[in-house]
Amino acid sequence: MPGYHPQDIEKKWQAHWKDQQTFRADNASAKPKYYVLDMFPYPSGAGLHVGHPLGYIASDIVSRYKRLRGFNVLHPMGFDSFGLPAEQYAIQTGQHPALTTEQNIGTYIRQLSSLGFSYDWSREVRTSDPAYYKWTQWIFLKLFNSWYNLDTNQAEPLKTLLDKFAENGSAGIRAAGDEEERHSFTNGQWKLFSEKQRLQAVHPYRLAYQQDTYVNWCPGLGTVLSNDEVKDGLSERGGFPVERRLMPQWNLRITAYADRLLQGLDTLDWPDAVKEMQRNWIGKSIGAEVEFRIQNSAEESAEDQQPTTNTQQPTIKVYTTRVDTIYGATFLVLAPEHELVAELTTPGQQATVQDYIDATKRRSERDRMADTKTVSGAFTGSFGINPLSGEPVQIWIADYVLAGYGTGAVMAVPSGDQRDYVFAKNFRLPIIPVTDAQQIEEQADPTKEGRYINSELINGLTYKEATHKLIQHLEANGIGKGKTNFRIRDAIFGRQRYWGEPIPIYYKEGVAYGVAEADLPLVLPEIDEYKPTETGEPPLGRAKDWKYKGLYDYELSTMPGWAGSSWYYLRYMDPHNAERFVGEEAEQYWQNVDLYLGGAEHATGHLLYSRFWHLFLKDLGLVTANEPFQKLINQGMILGRSNFVHRLSDIWGYDIQDSKEPEWMEVEPTVFISNELHQRLNSGKSSATEKAWVESKLNEKAIFWNAINSKSVSLKVNFDDIDFSKSQPIHVDVSLVDNDILDIQALEKWRTDFANALYISEPDGQFICSWEVEKMSKSKYNVVSPDVLIERYGADALRLYEMFLGPLEQYKPWNTNGMSGVAGFLKKLWRLYHPQDGGFAVTDEAAAPAELKALHKAIRKVEEDIEKFSFNTTVSALMITVNELTALDCHKRAVLEPLVVLLSPYAPHLAEELWVELGHAAGSISSATYPEFREEFLVEDTVNYPVAINGKVRETLQFPATATAADIEAAVRASDFLARFAEGKEAKKFIVVPGRMVNVVV
């Protein structure tokens, strides 16, 4: 059959690329390298919908374009295949998650291949493959066996720390981490320590360490969840309650890299919004740490509260960025999880405090940070002493303070902080102004202007003077010190799940040891169920005889989902290397990712953790680049176009006819009404004829409602009794709708409960659905499978359409109806090579100037737009070019051969087919040369000039492009222009703007 039929050519070329490994990249080449990477997908059972490939199409266009520009391109794909969804499915079905994961990956590979992506599939990685996660475990062991030396500002092997212990003990060692967790000892004591004592002393220095940590614990799922997996106190998956719980957890000391992670952002070509999110998440601040003494039993507490009995109480440390306001600190607020809360709570406040703590456990840290409106807290009953004013201050707990940030305690200054102000107003606590510039009658005033008042030591000073003097005073008196702080906290690394990388740790005498590198990978054992044990252990507790060397218990937690994705870009460089996580030569050649595409939702998760791991590996000399991803583009989301049928929800009254006694019956029938008809009826814009027609349709269907009363009677529907404003929109599967026209029979098969409903269509018989743009989701039945569209329109059309929807970074609504326009463009392009859809008929005739002009405009536009990742405008340019060449009836090789190369990144299947027809070797278009733009083909021979009299355009005249201003003036004077438009007046002045216009002043 003549004509363009993508189904006939696309599978052919996909098979060719696979058989010939067309896109296989070399780890050594004289060509410049270019590494393009997509954030690899988690293979869910639902497969891809049309929103997923958006970034993949863009990265593939860039990859194919860069090959044409002479680059050695690495464009790999793999799967983030560990995760909670597969485990939950395993719990429900008893099916091993490896099996469902394998099946899902098969679906993804089929779908990705059907879109013609130029991936080097020989480099595919899967995070759940033991050959891959062997190296994830290996990197963890490197972290476990390293510490962060603040003197060298980098991670070092533990051996350098042990050498320091042997020489000087713990004295003088500056290491990242919590100093209070560490022991002090001399070198003599170190030498006398047992192995166990040495390991216990070293553990608080490790970059991977175990510590009691507050986590999001979900009893329903039996696991710890990340903040991203918790919403409104419930697990995102399953909707189970989540609580904050103190548990022993493995942590990674990302805080050691906080400053370097912050500085590195300045070197990256990333969206400003993503960099700002990371800056805020890292949260660097410069301030002071201050100690508030706790009031002891010998001191009378304010408001006659019961004094505490402990005379040796510790101090409360607070971190503040506004030490200048310390005299205005009128109360202290601790995180509900703070270690001193139990000790500070007086008997009279015990019930109140415990209730508040229990409520806090049900909220995630993210919810607590985001909620700025709720005012809540509980008084402990105890008091602290302001270290400068000497005044007693109440000690409260409140969930807006987080245990992991700073010290888990804040000094509350209601005159300068709005949250403290609202809290103080709500609980009637003192508010003391601290500067003469503050206006605090209605809200807090954080100003640094004016001079200090009510602040004995710094009264009359400015902000800079006061801050400097206070820090000096605090340090001189041993009650505080200047300090730089970060909001970021160490990353919780353990998950109480099965389907994840086993943490390569075993325990001897209760002390953690790393599994020997030679014994990696530590493979997931087989277990009978994927739920926690009856005694509350993680699922790995079900493994039988699972011990290291047959003797020692393994760690039962597994790694989080982000572990394998934190370094996968390195494995792609050398995926089959059995001796090293990435070969040195391969890593030095590829170095890092030149272009990374993915969602902005990973800004403070995957992207931050990957940068952390990369910096660590660089410290150990294992990688050479400073950052993993040099340029980042966040593709926007493709939104679904949902369709709705409207069910009238009014309860109507019906006269029951043919009964012996008059009766009135109320029913609520299932009646669906076409959207446009519904709008007319609801707005009162329908005609009397249309109203009568609707009433007749209702009465035709009335027999179906007789069964409601089990009476063989007819019902009479009165139109005026119906309230058309009452209706319920119901989602329908968009696959049942074409151009908003519903297939009623298909709906009745899909929803059997609608089989006996009444469908009131438009007078022409069509039933029109309403629509709305929403997030694409299975629950909204607006998911569109690429499989269906590829079968109908072809993969090239889908690729072009997704790019044509709008700028890559923006959110875009999906509308399948638009696919036909792009498919029509490809057919029109085909006809340039196959006139009237006949045989191939490209000629070797010389190209005309107009044809070369159209081509070279396209060459320049496509190049400029791809280089700035403006893919939608490139598609528009190609469409314009094809329209111009069609109008010129161009079928010439000199124009159409370069045009195929321009097209190939966007529509590779069609381009390959035409390339072969043009006489080239099969599959060779990927190694073709991008056409050279030649400016001379765009030079115009003539220019059209608007010619004006006193600024008012009267006519357009054509002059040679080389004409000078004098030439143009002479030509206008010689013409009849002045005679026709100057009204007999003489020309005083000629103003000629070269190439633009002529203005004659008369």
Q: Which residues are annotated as a binding site for ATP?
A: 778
Region at 164 (left for phi over 0; alpha for psi -120 to 50; beta for the rest): alpha
φ, ψ of residue 379 in degrees (nearest 5):
-80, 130
Taking the C-alpha atoms of residue 382 and residue 344, their distance in angstroms, rounded to an integer, is: 6
364 and 240 Cβ atoms separated by less than 8 Å: no
Query: What's the angle, vertex CA 467, arms to CA 462 and CA 470, rounded to 5?
Result: 120
Strand segments (E) across 338-377: none
Residue with tokens 């409260």: 396
63 and 118 Cβ atoms separated by less than 8 Å: yes
Residue with tokens 């089929």: 110
φ, ψ of residue 307 in degrees (nearest 5):
-70, 155
Residue with tokens 């006949």: 838
Q: Please, is 665 exposed, middle or buried when counting C-beta atoms within 10 Å of its C-beta (0-12, 13-18, 19+)?
A: middle
Taking the C-alpha atoms of residue 244 and residue 215, their distance in angstroms, rounded to an integer, is: 5
Residue type, 721: D
Taking the C-alpha atoms of residue 325 and residue 321, their distance in angstroms, rounded to an integer, is: 9
Q: Are strands 243-252 and 234-235 parallel, antiparallel or unpaired?
A: unpaired
- 566's CB contacts (< 8 A; 6+ apart) are 606, 609, 610, 612, 613
Residue 606 C-alpha from the chain's centroid:
10
Q: Which residues pair with 737 in a beta bridge?
A: 742
Following DSSP, what letter does each residue of 120-178 receive, concatenated? -GGG--BTTSHHHHHHHHHHHHHHHTEEEETTTTEEEEHHHHHHHHHHHTTTT--BSS-
Residue 932 C-alpha from the chain's centroid:
38
Strand segments (E) across 239-363: 243-252, 284-294, 316-320, 331-334
Following DSSP, what letter does each residue of 609-665 receive, concatenated? HHHHHHHHHHHTTS---S-SBSBEEE--PEEEEEEEEEEE-PPEEEEE-S-SS--EE
Residues within the annotated binding site?
778
Taking the C-alpha atoms of residue 28 and residue 973, their distance in angstroms, rounded to an integer, is: 69
The Cα-based distances of 126 to 102, 113, 486, 559, 690 in angstroms read: 10, 17, 34, 15, 62
807 and 775 Cβ atoms separated by less than 8 Å: no
> Which long-range contacts link 654-663 to residues 24+ away (Cβ below 8 Å)?
654/702, 654/705, 654/715, 654/716, 654/717, 654/718, 655/715, 655/716, 655/718, 656/709, 656/711, 656/713, 656/714, 656/715, 656/716, 657/713, 657/714, 657/715, 657/716, 658/713, 658/714, 659/711, 659/713
Taking the C-alpha atoms of residue 861 and residue 829, their distance in angstroms, rounded to an integer, is: 18
Q: Are strands 741-742 and 737-738 parallel, antiparallel or unpaired?
A: antiparallel
Taking the C-alpha atoms of residue 493 and residue 208, their distance in angstroms, rounded to an integer, is: 9
Per-residue DSSP letter, 500: S
Q: Which residues pair with 989 in a beta bridge?
A: 1001
Q: Are strands 480-486 and 284-294 parallel, antiparallel or unpaired?
A: antiparallel
What six digits make up the tokens of 397?
């707990």
833 and 841 Cβ atoms separated by less than 8 Å: yes
Taking the C-alpha atoms of residue 462 and residue 797, their distance in angstroms, rounded to an integer, is: 67
